[in-house]
Amino acid sequence: MLAGVALAIAAGTKWYGVSSVPVVVAIWACARLLAARREGAPRAPALRDGVLVGGLVLAGMLPWFVRNLAQAGNPFFPLDLAPFGVTIFGAPPDVIRDELGFSIADYAGEPDVLAIAAAIVLARRSGRADDARIVVLVAGAVALAIVYTLTPASALGVRGNPGLAHVNTRYLIPALILAVPVAVWAAGRLPRVAGRTLEGLLMLGALLGAHEGYEIQGGREILVALIGLAAIAGGCWLLWRLRERRVVLVAAAIGAVLIGLAAGNRAQNAINSDRYRDVDPALDALLAIAPSERRVGLAFATYWSLGDLSPVWPAFGTRIGNEVEYVGRFVDGFLTPYGDAASFAAALRRGRYDVLAVGRSTIESQDTPEQGWAIAAGWQTISLSDELRVLVPPAAVTAPP
C-alpha cells in the first residue's frame, strides 16, 4: 500500500512518471514471481500485490486523464491514441515537439555516442552480485535510463544541435535514485581505505549538491550544521565509551531532529527570498511589489523559456504565496498567447492582476507586442531590463515609471 501510494503520486506528477513508474512496477513484479518460482512458493500473493500496486498507480494518474478529457477532449493529450492506425483520441500538431523534441536515441548512430557506449562496455567489471536486490536495482536503473534516452525531448533542440538537452536531464533522476544504493553496496565491497574514501566523496558530493541545488546564499548555514553534527558525534562517542548507549541514541535523535528542523527552516526561508536577489533588476521589482498574496500575470514566455532567466518561479513571491497565471487562451488544448491588443486587454481586466511581467525579445525589431498592448491598456512600467518588463495597473502605481 505504501509503495503503491508513493508510485501513484510519482506517476501523477508529470508525463515522464507515466513511463518510469510502470518500468519500476514491472521489474518488481517479475522479481517477485521469479523469487516465488525459485522458492517453490505460490505465485498468487505476488500477482495480487502487483494488481494492488498497479491499481493505486492508475488511481494516481486518473485525475489528470479526467482533466485532459474535460479540457482537451483527449485523456492522453498532447499525444494521439491511434492503435493499428485507428484514431481513438486525436491531438493537434505539437510544433515544439515536432521541431525540437528529439530524443537521445535519435543520436545513437553518432560517432561520439558510439564511442561513449563502447567505453562503458569496456570499463564494465566482470562478476555478478551475490544479492538479488542489487540485481533488481541495477536492472531497474538500466531500464529507466533506456526509457529516458527514448523519451521525446530528452535531446531538446534543433536537429544536430541538442543545445537544451540539459533542461530535461532531471528526468534521468529516477534511474540515478536506483543507482545510489548500488553505489553504496559497491563501496562496502571495496577494500577498507578505498571504500571509506568513496563514502567520503559521496557524502561531500551530497552536501555540495544540496547547497548548489537550493542555492543557499553563503556557506555559513552548512558550516554551523557541520559543527553541530560534529559536536553531537563527539558527545555520543564519549557517552558510548561510558556505556550509556541508550542515552546515546536519545541524544543523537534529539540533536539530529533539532539540526534538521533548523536547517530546513533556513532553506525554506531562503529558497525564494534570497536566491533571485540581484539577478535582474526587473525581478527585484517584481519581488518587491508582489512578495506574497498577489495575483501575477505572465506574458510571452517564448523568449524566457529559451534563455537562462525565467520569471515563473520568482513570480510566486518570497513566501511562494502568489497566484500566478499565464495571460493566454486555450486553443485545441494548448495554452497560447493572444493575437491582438483588444483580446489581451480584456484578459488583463478579467484576471485582475496586481502586477504583470512580460518577456522581451533580444531582437529590437521583433520586440514582443504584449508590452505595447499593456501600455496602451493603461498599465505603467515600474521596472525594465534587457529581458523583462514589469508593469502595474494605473491604480497601483506608487513609484514613477
* 87 three-class SS: coil
Query: For the chain, what is the domain count?
Result: 2
Residue partners of 10: CB distance under 8 A and separation at least 6: 17, 20, 21, 60
Same domain, 301 and 267: no
Residue 34 falls inside a structural domain: no
Burial class, 140, CB count within 10 angstroms (exposed 0-12 / middle 13-18 / buried 19+): buried
Of 238, 273, 308, which residue constitutes the final position of a domain? Answer: 273
Q: Which three cell numbers stand for residue 164?
A: 537544451
Same domain, 348 and 388: yes
Cis, bond preceding 78 (omega within 30 deg of 0): yes
Q: Which three cell numbers stand for residue 347?
A: 484578459
In tens digits, the chain (401 residues) has pLDDT values of 898 999 999 888 877 778 889 899 999 988 889 888 888 888 898 889 989 999 999 998 899 889 888 888 888 888 888 888 888 888 888 877 888 888 888 877 666 555 555 545 544 553 455 678 888 888 888 888 888 888 888 888 888 888 878 878 888 888 888 888 888 888 888 888 888 888 888 888 877 776 666 555 555 666 666 777 777 777 777 777 766 667 777 877 887 788 778 877 776 666 666 777 788 899 899 989 998 899 999 997 655 555 567 888 889 988 888 999 999 998 877 888 999 999 999 999 999 999 999 988 766 656 788 999 999 999 999 999 888 899 999 776 554 44
DSSP string, 307-351: SS---TTGGGTTTT--EEEES-EEETTEEE--SSHHHHHHHHHHH
Residue 208 falls inside a structural domain: yes
Domain of 254? 192-273
Separation between Cα atoms, residue 256 and residue 274, nearest integer Å? 26
Residue 115 falls inside a structural domain: no
Separation between Cα atoms, residue 365 and residue 325, nearest integer Å? 27
Same domain, 324 and 382: yes
Phi, psi of 295 (to 5 degrees): -100, 120
Q: The domain spanning residue 363 has which CATH number?
A: 3.40.190
Residue 103 falls inside a structural domain: no
Of 249, 273, 297, which residue constitutes the final position of a domain? Answer: 273
Same domain, 338 and 360: yes
Of 234, 252, 273, which residue constitutes the final position of a domain? Answer: 273
* 384 three-class SS: strand
Same domain, 267 and 300: no
Type of residue found at 273:
S
Residue 352 falls inside a structural domain: yes
Same domain, 305 and 338: yes
